[in-house]
């Protein structure tokens, strides 16, 4: 025994050899490497009771029609803003069999699932790292590295290729799932605000409790590569892991741990709320935060020329939703098409009626152009969403007036030298 305790430079749990590929223990357990970047990137080693390739001969099959809506055909979205209703739960479909694509580009995709049946298999996504957002539901994500308990408002990151299974708790379940095909999501941070805005890596929860299964039986593992789903069957439980070491791991991140950047005197742009960047996509959280006191507290009218914007509404007042958006709905704002505050929201701003708090939580994922929308998503579209801006064509304060130009010229003259007033404290 050493006199003092130490921690090692790589996380490890349970029974592991002295180092990867080294030490006498390797003659007793089976080491498996989970490697990214052609074995030169992130890596984790798991130590198994049985060889990980002990699949039963003659049992491997390609599964036709396993998750049909996940492969829903894609088409260009065109010049229309879309609001998608909540996807219906399908009682017969489990989490992956009921997975449905919403949008995708070459390197990332957004999906939704409303599972109502248990998973009777383990799953490995061989083409993407997955980021789940739990809009509704609770349960346990069982993984090779140990279980992770989750609840409403949690992100779950499941790295590419990791065997796992969702054990659903009681109640309704509704998850958005973002796929990253070309790299893992990285924590977003700005050079000028540092490592702890908008969250800290210490907020991530990696599994630490191993639940080693020394069980015999028939254990199905379904893998996905592109649109091909393959089942193989093992005679021992895939979670026969006695220990692991590495930094290629699943983890949980709670939306409550997002501590947003706020500004009293200017509107923070959406990119200021980014939590993860991934190739071809950035993922932001708009969370409960104070309203800008002097600056514009609404989103400005804007066009995003390089990204299609998706916004999943979790809970709140949704001041940007124009009165038709409810929890669980998703909006799609395509490349180039102007959008921004709905008439009622901008009236509040113009009339100086700001609240104290933006009481909302929403998850935005913006996808680099070209991004396409699925037939499944188009089946959920609400016909009336483009009309939520219609107040701009009917309400007198927004519509044509002969004296409008003169009015603006007079206002500009009056405000030429206007700026924020800073009042030093007494005595300075």
Q: For binding to Fe ion (CB under 5 A), which residues are involved?
A: 309, 333
Alpha-carbon distances, residue 221 vs 19, 20, 153, 154, 165 (angstroms): 29, 26, 28, 25, 10
* CB-nearer residue toward Fe ion: 158 or 308: 308
Nearer CB in complex with Fe ion: 96/286: 286
Rounded to the nearest whole angstrom, what is the least distance from the CB of residue 381 to Fe ion in the complex?
A: 18
What b/e sequence results for 124-142 when a residue is b if at least 16 CB atoms lie within 10 Å of its CB, and e otherwise? bbebbbbbbbbbbbbbebb
- 108 or 311: CB nearest Fe ion: 311
Instruction: Specify the residue, 260 or 270, whose C-beta has the smaller distance to Fe ion.
Output: 270
Residue nearest Fe ion, CB atom distance: 309
Least distance in Å: CB of 64 to Fe ion?
Answer: 39
Q: Give me the least distance between CB of 364 and Fe ion, in Å please.
A: 8
Q: How far is the CB of 331 from Fe ion (least distance, A)?
A: 9
Q: Residue holding tokens 């996504």?
A: 125
Rounded to a whole number of angstroms, the minimum distance from the CB of residue 272 to Fe ion is 13
Between 236 and 320, whose beta carbon lies closer to Fe ion?
A: 320
CB 1 to Fe ion: min, Å: 59
How far is it, in rounded angstroms, from Cα 64 to Cα 87? 23
* Shortest reach from residue 181's CB to Fe ion, in Å: 24
Largest separation between any pair of C-alpha atoms in the chain: 88
Q: Which is nearer to Fe ion, 113 or 371 (CB)?
A: 371
184 vs 366 by CB, closer to Fe ion:
366
In this complex, which beta carbon is closest to Fe ion, that of residue 154 or of residue 309?
309
The distance of closest approach from Cβ of residue 321 to Fe ion in the complex, given in angstroms and rounded to an integer, is: 12
Q: CA nearest 132: which of 145, 143, 117, 146?
A: 143
**H, E, C per residue of the chain:** CCCCCCCCCCCEEECCCCECCECHHHHCCEEEEEECCCCCCCEEEEEECCCCCCCCCCCCEECCCCCHHHHCCEEECCCCCEEECCCCCECCCCCCCCCEEEEECCCEEEEEECECCCCCCEEEECCCEEEEEEEECCEEEEECCCCEEECCCEEEEECCCCCEEEEECCCCCEEEEEEECCCCCEECCCCCCCCCCCCCHHHCECCCCCCCCCCEEEEEEEEEECCEEEEEEEEECCCCEEEEEECCCCEEEEHHHCCCCCCCCCCCCHHHHEEEEECCEEEEEECCEECCCCCCCCCCCECCCCEEEEEEEEEECCCCCCCCCCCCCEEEECCCCCECCCHHHHHHHHCCCCCCEECEEEEEEEEECCCEEEHHHHCCECCCHHHHHCHHHHCCCCCCCCCHHHHHHHHHHHCCCCCCCCCCCCCC
Residue among 123 and 286 whose Cβ is closer to Fe ion: 286
**Least Å distance between CB 82 and Fe ion?**
13
CB 103 within 8 A of CB 371: yes
Cβ nearer to Fe ion, comparing 113 with 388: 388
CB of 309 to Fe ion, least distance (A): 5
Whether 393 and 343 have beta carbons less than 8 Å apart is answered as no
Nearer to Fe ion, 273 or 333 (CB): 333
The minimum distance between CB 191 and Fe ion, in angstroms, equals 24
């Amino acid at each position: 025994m050493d006199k003092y305790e130490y921690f090692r430079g790589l996380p490890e749990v349970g029974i592991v050899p002295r180092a990867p590929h080294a030490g006498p223990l390797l003659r007793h357990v089976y080491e498996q490497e989970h490697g990214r970047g052609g074995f030169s990137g992130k890596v984790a080693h798991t130590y198994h009771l049985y060889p990980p390739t002990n699949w039963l001969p003659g049992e491997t099959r390609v599964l036709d029609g396993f998750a049909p809506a996940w492969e829903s055909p894609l088409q260009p979205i065109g010049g229309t803003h879309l609001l998608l209703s909540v996807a219906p739960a399908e009682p017969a479909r489990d989490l992956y069999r009921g997975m449905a694509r919403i949008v995708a580009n070459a390197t990332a995709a957004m999906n939704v699932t409303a599972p109502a049946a248990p998973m009777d298999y383990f799953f490995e996504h061989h083409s993407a790292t997955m980021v789940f957002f739990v809009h509704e539901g609770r349960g346990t994500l069982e993984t090779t590295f140990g279980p992770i308990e989750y609840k409403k408002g949690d992100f779950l990151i499941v790295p590419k290729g990791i065997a796992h299974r969702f054990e659903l708790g009681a109640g309704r379940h509704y998850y958005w799932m973002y796929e990253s095909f070309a790299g893992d999501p990285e924590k977003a941070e700005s050079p000028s605000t540092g490592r702890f805005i908008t969250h800290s890596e210490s907020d991530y929860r990696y599994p630490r409790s191993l639940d080693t299964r020394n069980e015999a039986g028939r254990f199905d593992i379904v893998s996905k590569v592109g649109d091909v789903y393959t089942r193989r069957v093992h005679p021992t439980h895939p979670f026969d892991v006695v220990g692991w070491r590495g930094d290629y791991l699943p983890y949980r991140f709670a939306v409550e741990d997002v501590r947003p950047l706020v500004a009293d005197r200017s509107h923070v742009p959406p990119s200021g709320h980014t939590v993860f960047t991934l190739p071809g996509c950035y993922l932001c959280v708009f969370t409960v935060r104070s309203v800008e006191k002097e600056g514009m507290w609404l989103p400005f009218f804007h066009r995003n020329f390089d990204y299609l914007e998706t916004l999943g509404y979790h809970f709140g007042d949704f001041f940007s939703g124009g009165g038709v958006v409810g929890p669980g709905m998703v909006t799609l704002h395509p490349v180039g098409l102007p959008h921004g505050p709905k008439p009622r929201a901008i009236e509040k701003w113009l009339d100086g009626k700001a609240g104290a708090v933006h009481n909302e939580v929403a998850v935005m994922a913006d996808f680099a152009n070209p991004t396409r929308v699925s037939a499944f998503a188009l089946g959920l579209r609400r016909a009336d969403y483009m009309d939520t801006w219609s107040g701009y064509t009917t309400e007198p304060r927004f519509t044509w007036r002969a004296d409008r130009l003169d009015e603006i010229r007079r206002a500009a003259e009056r405000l030429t030298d206007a700026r924020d007033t800073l009042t030093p404290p007494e005595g300075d």
